[in-house]
Structure 1
Amino acid sequence: MTETPESGEIDLGDITLGQSFLTVYEHLRPFAAPVTRDLKRRDADALLRSYLEPGCFPEAVRRLTVRHLLVLVGEQETGKRLGAIALLSRMSLAESTITVLSPAGGAADLLSRTEYEPGRAYLLHDWIAESTDRIELLNLARKLAELGSYLVITRNGAPSQAAEVEQAWSAPEPGELFDLCLRAYGVRAGHSPEELTRARDLALTLPTPAEVVRLAGRLVGDDEPSGEDVAAWFDTKPLLHEVREVAALAFLHGVGGPVFERQFARLERICQAQERRVPRVSHPLVAREEGRVAFRVPRHRGQVLAELSGRYGFWLWQPLREWVRSLAWEGADVRTRAAEGVALLAAYSLKDAQLEFLDVWARGGNAERLAAGDALSYMCADDTLATEALRIALDWTADPLDPRATAAAVALGGGLSLRYPADAARRLRRLESGGGPSAGVAGRALALLAEHAGRCHDARGGTVTALPATLATDA
């Protein structure tokens, strides 16, 4: 049994897009600065405060010193970005500021269409170029050497044929990293030696440096509770009905109580739920307060998605996917919360988020395309996912006639305009002039951004004002 909502189609006009962009800006602007910017030495030093050099670091310093260009290659979340900053901080420079470049340019763009100043440092993180040209990279290295400048690029995946300028990267030893974090920030009072020992043992099992740092952060700061209580709840083997309830909330966190009950009832009908319902009692993860349903700890939303992704398979996810996709038609508030949930899911299962939700929505009607664009925008809240959102948007707009280009235009005018303003500007103008189905949305996005630039002020130094202004003027 499937259920088709009766909501009608929407018009992607100025009002709809304007509301979408405003919601995205309000969500992202407190913490989502442009990726492409100048990183001051003070900010770099703060990032490196708890950085531990991996075993490959000394050789990387030597090679960068000689070549002036180094591409760090390895698995995701192995500390390549901080490694690149640390490497550049070791170089003799005329200016200590690090200029961060867009990850969208290919080797030819870096060689011929990027301006480099003498004695400067440049960083390109999470390079998304489909291929690397060995000759162009070697020519780029020579160009940088003549200027006395340095560029470090990070890239996920396997080494290419450009072995002269590539360095295989590895993560630091997790136990040593954990110890460094505790020394750098100081352990909060109240933790016993036994608790610290258990935490260090756990750090040795964690797959990425970022997770080790987050674990240490819970011991040195006043962070929100960890995800252990979420995992512990799932360990109790809750009824499938209860699992579906928190799964639904992961995509509707903060929605009004009656709306949640109505949407959850739809999910239950899709699942053809037959198990016996037990009377509802106070839920350890869920709060029903002031007419809304939400997780007691906001961070639990993502942790629930992580547990669902790791513990459950077809029998939960197949009906859940159908239900989540249908939320695009259930009105602006529900659609926005569903899009944010899909963006959070991408942090734990990017492939599933893209294939089962983003691509499906982007090929659908206007409401679904708006949901896909909003989801890409919300992915921009995370530094790693922002690059993936840009990669997906550029892929969807490679052909202006691709139906997914309309969803990409929504994202380019939304979250991507905040994180990658110049790239968003160029691609929106290309879509506007391409004459495809996305041309109208791209044109309206540019016009709305120009209007927004004239009246929006940001207390953090004009971030939101400056970015749409760039979009409005940069061809």
Structure 2
Amino acid sequence: MDEEQSERRDQEEPEPKPGAEPAPDRDPGAPRTRDDETGETGESGETGETGESKPPPPGRPDTAPVHHNRVNQYFYGALDAPGAHFGIGVGDFANVRRRAVGRLDAGEADALLAPYVEPDCFEEAAAALEQDGVVVLVGPPGIGKRSAAVALVARAAEGTEYVVLSPGRSLDDLADGRVSFEKGVGYVLIDRMPETSSGTADFDWRRVRDTVRDHGAHLVITTVHPVEGDAPGSVRHVPWRLPDLTAVLRVRLLRAGCAADTVERAVAGLPGGCGVAEVAEAAERIARGAAPDEVWQEYGSGAAEPVRDWFAAGREPREWAEVTTLAFVTGAGYRDFETCQERLEEWVAPTFPELAVNTDGAEAHRRDADRRLMLGRNTLVAVEQRKDGALTRSALVFANPHYRPWVLEELWAKRSTAYWNGVRDWLTELVRTQPGLGTQLSVASALALLTRPAFDEVAENYLHPWASGVAGPAGQSTATLVLQCMCLDEGLAATALAVGRGWARSPEPALRSTAMAAFAGALGVRFPTDAVNVLMRLTGRSEEARLALAGLVALLLDCGEDTGAVLRPLAYRLRALRTTSTGHLRESVLDTVQTLLGGRDTRTGRLVGASLLEGAPEQSDRIAELWAGVLENRPRRGWALRYLHATLRDLTTVTAEPGPVADRFGRSLGGALAPPERTHLGPALRRSAVRPTPETTALTDTFLTAVLSTED
């Protein structure tokens, strides 16, 4: 799915009203945006902030590696994090590898609609949507609002075309043409974030309603944030409720062909406290042959009961420290675990009266405790034997991975602020002094889980301080990892986006740097339009932003997602500025293009530009436009010729059949270059070659023949 493709056609931005402030994410000096070929959105057509930017000086390296930084390697490289039981809702790593916005393909729409069961509030929302063209579904996570939104537009829309919009879209975006609604198309905006109250809420909603209705479209918005004060009268806000979960379970099991007795056993064992997504996941497991009784132990009250029973008993300080340590440091060996627990006990000792009044006794308690025997008696704890090559190591984990979120919820509900202050200081020390794959992933996934019951606690005491550098570079990468883990959960992804956007708007360089890392990774894959908007806005004053944008392109390519999310708006900027001979804005865009085309993937050593030509053939024309921009810029022409030749050379390593790729690229570049440039390219490119191999020389001939074939 791609929001740029889905929103179809960018509209020119209207002139600002006199005295009006520019939108927070828009550069006031940006050119108007329109791309009728690709239908790019206004956000991705925005131009980065201006700033002092010059061509690379003679002593500057010609290229920079495009790093898949440590955070992104964790999620997109060979993920090897023993013990990192992420347990974020019902998500998995596939969630973070796909976009959350854009056109909903037929397969995904059918998967949502085929087993859908309408709750009793469905008809009220359907009537409002039919009447007004817009309706808002309000309710907590896990009650099926996303499926309901698609089901509602499927009933109301004339066709079978559905579009998912970014949760970062404001009411002004929806009303002012930043989203180009089309007749007969159904639009959904999932998990809309609240906006600053302006006192004109009903007027703003009326503008959205009129815009959608005038275009003959339908829009369903979902949110977990109830309306403050009176609900807008112009757009119905419908309180959403769970459907009959037994009906949801029956429909899914019967569609899967389960026997009647299996269906009845599953329905009879359905525990309380489940959400729609949990029931759907459990049904899938039961349909694959899992025993219903065993499956239900991991969902709703079935998973919570053993944890709540454990906490209901009187617990000693050592036991509180055990489960707290395990919640944040899952999968560690005995020695590392015991060391972490001892440090935690020191930080939280003042919150336990029996330890606080007797410092010597507290020290003796920590020294004399036989921790391994005590851990063996803790029913929430288990020891796994894990293979590590030819060796086996012990890893401390929860007896059931689904215990972890419930343990964090119970800890938050039962321990005081003073205890959590100790936990905060302990984790900050841990991340700063022991940066490593296992530790960072485990801490980050625990904090992502903790956002459910205590988002403010996580945001104010961990995310913001760590992202701003309080815990050093390891703290910044761990803060980024928390957002990546949140992207695993459909219900938390929009919140992660809001946090990342906030960092990007900060005046603090460290926060902006952390935001760049986040948007160059999983957050950018989930929300590519927002990522491009953020990163391009920062490219004018930050080489780091340009590298992040290039890294996002490489990452989108690795994930099989649409690299045009970056290439289309960048090519548009270049076209818009092509007639401008000088200027900071032009140089900033050219710097960004040069960084992208000259960057090398540190994992493969290959030029990103070569990998794009082989892996994204549909973007050949856009890539050619970028090359034409730097080739026609005289101060950069020498660099462009060298790296164009290097790109052709790398084609021989990224594909077994480089000839057709070079031919296609040559035709695209010939169409993008001015006629005199096509003629001069051949001699100049051959002169720039350094020790060309026969294979590269033949490929260059193929490429140049294709370039000249576009002559009129």
Per the normalisation by structure 1, the TM-score is 0.81
Q: Contact conserved, 2:503 with 2:512, CA < 8 A, in 1?
A: yes
Q: Contact conserved, 1:73 with 1:166, CA < 8 A, in 2?
A: no
The correspondence for 2:213, drawn from 145, 148, 157, is 145
1:290-439 alignment, distance < 5 Å: 290-291=392-393, 292-314=395-417, 316-329=419-432, 330-333=434-437, 334-363=439-468, 364=470, 365-401=472-508, 403-433=510-540, 435=541, 439=542
* DSSP-derived class of the 2:396 partner: strand
1:121-200 alignment, distance < 5 Å: 121-131=186-196, 133-159=201-227, 162-172=232-242, 176-185=244-253, 199=269
Aligned AA (1:313): S
The correspondence for 2:322, drawn from 238, 245, 254, is 245
Q: Contact conserved, 1:125 with 1:153, CA < 8 A, in 2?
A: yes
**Quick check: 1:103 aligned with 2:167?**
yes
* DSSP-derived class of the 2:156 partner: coil
1:194-233 alignment, distance < 5 Å: 199=269, 203=272, 206=273, 222=290, 223=295, 225-226=297-298, 227=303, 228-233=305-310
Counterpart for residue 46 of structure 1: 111
Q: Contact conserved, 1:374 with 1:410, CA < 8 A, in 2?
A: no
* DSSP-derived class of the 1:99 partner: strand
Q: How far does residue 133 in structure 1 lie from its aligned partner after superposition?
A: 4.6
* DSSP-derived class of the 2:491 partner: helix
Mapped to 2, the partners of 1:113 and 1:80 lie a distance apart of 25
The correspondence for 2:551, drawn from 421, 435, 448, is 448
Q: Contact conserved, 2:132 with 2:235, CA < 8 A, in 1?
A: yes
Mapped to 1, the partners of 2:465 and 2:382 lie a distance apart of 30
Aligned AA (2:135): L
Q: How far does residue 421 in structure 1 lie from its aligned partner after superposition?
A: 0.8
The correspondence for 1:470, drawn from 537, 561, 565, is 565
Q: Which runs of 5+ in 1 are unaligned?
A: 1-12
Q: Contact conserved, 1:14 with 1:448, CA < 8 A, in 2?
A: no
Counterpart for residue 87 of structure 2: none
Mapped to 2, the partners of 1:347 and 1:99 lie a distance apart of 27
Q: Contact conserved, 2:134 with 2:218, CA < 8 A, in 1?
A: yes
**Quick check: 1:21 aligned with 2:72?**
yes
| Per-residue CA distance 1:234-278 (angstroms, 9 max, x = gap) | 344443313322221222222344433333332233234624724
Q: Contact conserved, 1:171 with 1:209, CA < 8 A, in 2?
A: no
Mapped to 1, the partners of 2:208 and 2:285 lie a distance apart of 43
Q: Contact conserved, 2:205 with 2:234, CA < 8 A, in 1?
A: no
Q: Contact conserved, 1:416 with 1:424, CA < 8 A, in 2?
A: yes
Q: Contact conserved, 2:157 with 2:185, CA < 8 A, in 1?
A: no
Greater C-alpha radius of gyration? 2
Q: How far does residue 161 in structure 1 lie from its aligned partner after superposition?
A: 5.7
Mapped to 2, the partners of 1:400 and 1:256 lie a distance apart of 41
Q: How far does residue 116 in structure 1 lie from its aligned partner after superposition?
A: 2.3
CA RMSD of aligned residues (A): 3.4
Q: Contact conserved, 1:271 with 1:319, CA < 8 A, in 2?
A: yes
Q: How far does residue 87 in structure 1 lie from its aligned partner after superposition?
A: 0.9
Mapped to 2, the partners of 1:323 and 1:41 lie a distance apart of 48
| Per-residue CA distance 1:285-320 (angstroms, 9 max, x = gap) | 321423233334333332322232233334543322
Mapped to 2, the partners of 1:251 and 1:126 lie a distance apart of 28
Q: Contact conserved, 2:252 with 2:280, CA < 8 A, in 1?
A: no
* Alpha-carbon spacing, 1:418–1:299, altered in 2? closer, same or farther (3 Å): farther
Moved more, 23-32 or 334-343: 23-32
* Percent identity over paired residues: 27
Aligned AA (2:162): I
* DSSP-derived class of the 2:123 partner: helix
* Alpha-carbon spacing, 1:249–1:474, altered in 2? closer, same or farther (3 Å): farther
Q: Which runs of 5+ in 2 are unaligned?
A: 1-63, 80-91, 350-354, 356-361, 386-391, 571-712
Mapped to 2, the partners of 1:448 and 1:409 lie a distance apart of 10
Q: Contact conserved, 1:178 with 1:216, CA < 8 A, in 2?
A: no
Mapped to 2, the partners of 1:56 and 1:312 lie a distance apart of 38
* Alpha-carbon spacing, 1:448–1:259, altered in 2? closer, same or farther (3 Å): farther
The count of corresponding residues between Structure 1 and Structure 2 is 444
Aligned AA (1:171): R
Moved more, 70-79 or 379-388: 70-79
The correspondence for 2:331, drawn from 254, 265, 274, is 254
Mapped to 2, the partners of 1:85 and 1:180 lie a distance apart of 16
| Per-residue CA distance 1:202-237 (angstroms, 9 max, x = gap) | 53xx38655676787887773484223333433444
* Alpha-carbon spacing, 1:192–1:19, altered in 2? closer, same or farther (3 Å): closer
* Alpha-carbon spacing, 1:216–1:239, altered in 2? closer, same or farther (3 Å): farther
Q: Contact conserved, 1:327 with 1:338, CA < 8 A, in 2?
A: no
Aligned AA (2:318): H
* Alpha-carbon spacing, 1:48–1:278, altered in 2? closer, same or farther (3 Å): farther
**Quick check: 1:72 aligned with 2:137?**
yes
